[in-house]
A and B are shown apart, each in its own frame.
Chain A
């Protein structure tokens, strides 16, 4: 999704010349100088925002470095599941298909957003500098077979609840978190609701708690999709 690389030099260079955002370029330079090879991707939308993707091992260090640079306002921390959803809106489409006919939709391959990515889960966090009037989005890839990452709580106290929410909603473990328990959901709830393969079952009946099984609605055939 990186937009800067596509324009060719030959046609209309005045119009195609990309905006240069000097404060954010300078900040990206500072982050790269502090973290070195740990910065694995970046994206600047001029006069708007900066995304920096760092290595998973450098995630807490990135927060510490940015805090030292004056980015001391903790905005939020969350995660993104890049798996194309087999459920959700697609379910409506399947119901529509049953009525109107047609080809079922192919979910397509994994495609990550700004600053790139290699894995299904990405942690995203934002820090803000009141003095500079700018914010930074930090991203980090998390390997699918090892969903864990360092905690920001030593550097930002506010990360505590955000990491607990992220833990219950995505199943990502934060190493070094002092109290990593569920925040919203009951302790016996199974599954991670914000994952894309967690079905949003407003139209399907399923037993409590959580993602145990998916039953067809009364009167429906036995060809309903099943959960996990």
Chain B
């Protein structure tokens, strides 16, 4: 897509400054606007306290914590296999992807590796979780900016992905399918053909989105040149995933630092970036990522190696002493688990590094000087899940 020229960006900044002067001349009064905790644009219970001057935002401070469930403390009293049942619920739209980094960290400490078949299926389910997550984002973002149709389309086509996840794992939202050393089960009969059909549906959905939403003039007016995040600021805040790639940083953990236990190197695929760093760029990157994910799934389904899906692990899992950090490219960005083990049945300490926590901490920086409707665009395009912030 065409990048916004530097001149246009400067023009936008200049117009904002000009508008601010008008506001000063009009002698507008300050006011505080509470956005949320239950606002459709906040994907859950997030409150944003915005101080306004007229309709211009002076400061916007997110207040998380309404959903804090204390997972880091709870993991200290759960055995390793039990932990996956909890952490499914962190990013509830792409649950399976949450399990993988923790399992990989435990596998790293135990020095076991899943068999190739399990690695393939794990990667396929990981990408299905990504598609289920981001397709909902595309629909929901359209919905927030007034394009109702996108919401309906997204829920319609996401169902096909959820059905495939359910057929393989038995659960739509909380699969709890990943095990230390492999997977619970092999793929069911007929699953491969059905999944390929679903992927074709999703590609059609991506094309529809591209023409219906991304090509829409109103959508472009509400997203282009708004919420611009430069690459160095994004890195300083620790933004990851499409939010970072939308700022032009070509970094994807799947390609650049794929931990052992996933089969991304078995497929031929591309990392998408966009140089603009605005709301449109982030959405565009996510759209391309969804399409790329369907291609990854197709390729991996064609090259399933067969064989067992579980390595030899003890029945009662005791993880040896040590520390391990595994980070994977989740639908929302880089998600990592720092696991400290003391050789017990339970982890001694688990630090969960969630992508939305960093992604949303940039809101005070990016939302100053914009207008209230732009805040909705920014929040929507940063795309956070409240469970992912609050843990």
Contact = CB atoms under 8 A, between A and B. Distances in A.
Q: Which of B232, B256, B325 has the most chain A CB atoms closer than 10 A to its own CB?
A: B325
B349 A72 contact: no
Contact of B338 (A78, A133, A158, A184): A78
A224 interface: no
Contacts of B318: none
Given A85-B76, A114-B322, A114-B323, A74 B346 contact: no
Contacts of A51: 323
B157 interface: no
Contacts of B358: 74, 76, 158, 161
Contact of B361 (A92, A135, A160): A160
A73 B257 CA distance: 14
B81 interface: no
Contact of B76 (A76, A114, A157, A200): A200
Interface stretch (B176-184, B235-243, B373-381): B235-243
A213 interface: no
A38 interface: no
A193 B69 CA distance: 11
What range describes how many residues of B lie at the interface? 35 or more
A200 B65 contact: no
B346 A1 contact: no
Contacts of A102: none
Nearest to A84: B342
Nearest to B391: A184
B70 interface: yes
B219 interface: no
Contact of A185 (B68, B251, B327): B68
B349 A183 contact: no
Interface in A1-43: 1
Interface in B74-119: 74, 76-77, 108
Contacts of A74: 235-238, 358
A143 interface: no
Interface in B341-372: 342, 344-346, 349, 351, 353, 357-358, 361-362, 365
A42 to B, nearest CB: 13
What range describes how many residues of A lie at the interface? 35 or more
B73 A194 contact: yes
Interface string A124-163: 1010001001010100000000000000000011101110
A156 B237 CA distance: 6
A55 interface: no
Contacts of A76: 238, 336, 338, 351, 353, 358
Interface string A101-125: 0000000000101100000000010
A73 B252 CA distance: 13
Interface in B235-275: 235-239, 249, 251, 256-257
Given A114-B322, A184-B65, A89 B76 contact: yes
Nearest to A80: B349
A65 interface: no
Interface in A47-79: 48-49, 51, 72-76, 78
Contacts of B77: 88-89, 92, 200, 202
B159 interface: no
A200 B74 contact: yes
Contact of B357 (A73, A88, A89, A161): A161
B353 A75 contact: yes
A134 to B, nearest CB: 8
20 contacts: A72-B232, A72-B235, A72-B236, A74-B235, A75-B238, A78-B351, A85-B76, A89-B344, A113-B323, A126-B336, A158-B237, A158-B358, A158-B361, A161-B358, A161-B361, A185-B65, A185-B68, A193-B70, A194-B72, A194-B73
Q: 9 tightest CB-CB pairs across the interface, nearest first? A: A184-B65, A158-B238, A74-B238, A158-B237, A76-B353, A161-B361, A184-B68, A78-B351, A157-B236
Interface of A: 1, 48-49, 51, 72-76, 78, 80-81, 85, 88-89, 92, 111, 113-114, 124, 126, 130, 133, 135, 137, 156-158, 160-162, 169, 183-185, 193-194, 198, 200, 202
Interface of B: 64-65, 68, 70, 72-74, 76-77, 108, 232-233, 235-239, 249, 251, 256-257, 321-325, 327, 334, 336, 338, 340, 342, 344-346, 349, 351, 353, 357-358, 361-362, 365, 390
Given A76-B353, A80-B349, A156-B237, 10 more contacts: A88-B77, A130-B235, A130-B251, A157-B361, A157-B365, A158-B239, A158-B361, A162-B357, A185-B65, A198-B73
